[in-house]
């Protein structure tokens, strides 16, 4: 029995007949919502303080080697909640909303927050190292959540290739969007002369690299291994990872739901235990969420 054959699987949640493409704005997940609120609130406080001292917020809450040396040890965290202008804030928050919401819904709040923090703090460490080396002036602060957002972009490219991005006016798969972003970054790195926003680009690269490394250390990335066969040939295989485990859980859930529905058919819904009712309710919500995402176009 498939999902759409079941009595609790309705089509009204898809927003239209035939799975038509539509723009949906689902409610942010809990951690993403609080991060959005914190970033917007921090920006408005920054705007208010600019009337008193324009350099106060980036100097104290942005990230710089001289600031950390003066004892502003909170900067590797607070710089992720500070932004230079409204568009800087808007684009980062759109990325947080789209990529972060998919990550948190799939892997849970705790893992999302850890991943977000690791990518952001790794970007901070890379920026401070570049300052020590002399690539960046020690007193030049950097602000923005872009390092953590680039880590989430990498995760979305790996796990959520179904996401569609509208870049300027052109819809494209997120993996194509990722190639465009990487190409633009490569062109900036190869351009002659001094590079504008070198510190920001270092944070972007560090955030993406730490995202890949973190997923690998957490054994969440697909792995390709090469082994010699008995006849001396070489074959590649895809190791079991997070996606395979998720698929296995869905199969087990489907088998359990089929068992529960069979019980309802034989003995009525009143025969279900509390645990079985809860299982059926959770399966219904998950399927409704999958249906709601059918044909959706996210914007970035």
For 62-84, what is the mean pLDDT? 93
CA angle 214, 220, 223 (to 5 degrees): 105
In tens, the pLDDT along 139-198 reads: 889 999 999 999 999 999 999 988 888 877 778 888 888 888 888 878 877 776 666 778
Q: Using an 8 Å Cβ cutoff, are 118 and 38 in contact?
A: no
pLDDT at 221: 76
Please check the confidence at residue 229 and state whether its pLDDT lies above 50. Answer: no
Question: Residue 18 gets which letter from DSSP?
Answer: G
Q: 127 vs 286, which has greater pLDDT?
A: 127
Q: Give the confidence band of 291 by pLDDT, cuts at 50, 70, 90.
A: low
For 61-85, what is the mean pLDDT? 93
Please check the confidence at residue 94 and state whether its pLDDT lies above 70. Answer: yes
Q: What contacts 225, CB < 8 A, 6 or more positions away?
A: 236, 237, 239
Class of domain 18-224: mainly alpha
pTM, whole model, 2 decimals?
A: 0.67
Residue-range domain boundaries for the chain: 18-224
- Joined together, the tokens standing for residue 176 give 């194509």
For 105-118, what is the mean pLDDT? 95
């Amino acid at each position: 029995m498939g999902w759409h054959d079941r009595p609790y699987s309705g089509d009204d949640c898809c927003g239209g007949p035939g799975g038509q493409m539509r723009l949906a704005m689902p409610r942010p997940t809990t951690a993403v919502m609080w991060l959005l609120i914190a970033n917007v609130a921090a920006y408005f406080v920054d705007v208010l303080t600019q009337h008193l001292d324009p350099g106060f917020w980036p100097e104290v809450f942005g990230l710089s080697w001289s600031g950390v040396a003066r004892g502003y040890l909170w900067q590797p965290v607070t710089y992720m909640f500070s932004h230079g202008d409204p568009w800087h804030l808007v684009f980062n928050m759109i990325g947080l909303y789209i990529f972060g919401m998919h990550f948190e819904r799939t892997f849970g709040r705790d893992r999302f927050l850890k991943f977000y923090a690791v990518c952001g703090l790794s970007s901070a460490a890379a920026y401070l190292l570049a300052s020590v080396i002399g690539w960046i002036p020690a007193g030049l602060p950097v602000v923005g959540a872009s390092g953590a957002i680039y880590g989430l972009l990498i995760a979305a490219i790996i796990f959520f290739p179904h996401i569609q991005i509208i870049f300027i006016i052109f819809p494209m798969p997120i993996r194509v969007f990722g190639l465009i972003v990487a190409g633009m970054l490569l062109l900036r790195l190869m351009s002659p002369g001094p590079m504008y926003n070198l510190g920001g680009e270092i944070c972007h690269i560090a955030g993406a690299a730490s995202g890949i490394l973190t997923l690998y250390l957490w054994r969440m990335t697909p792995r390709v291994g090469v082994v010699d066969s008995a006849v001396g040939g070489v074959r590649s295989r895809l190791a079991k990872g997070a996606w395979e485990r998720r698929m296995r859980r869905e199969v087990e859930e489907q088998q359990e739901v089929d068992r529960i529905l069979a019980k309802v058919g034989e003995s009525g819904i009143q025969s279900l235990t509390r645990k079985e009712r809860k299982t059926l309710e959770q399966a219904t919500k998950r399927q409704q969420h999958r249906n709601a995402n059918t044909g959706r176009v996210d914007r970035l």
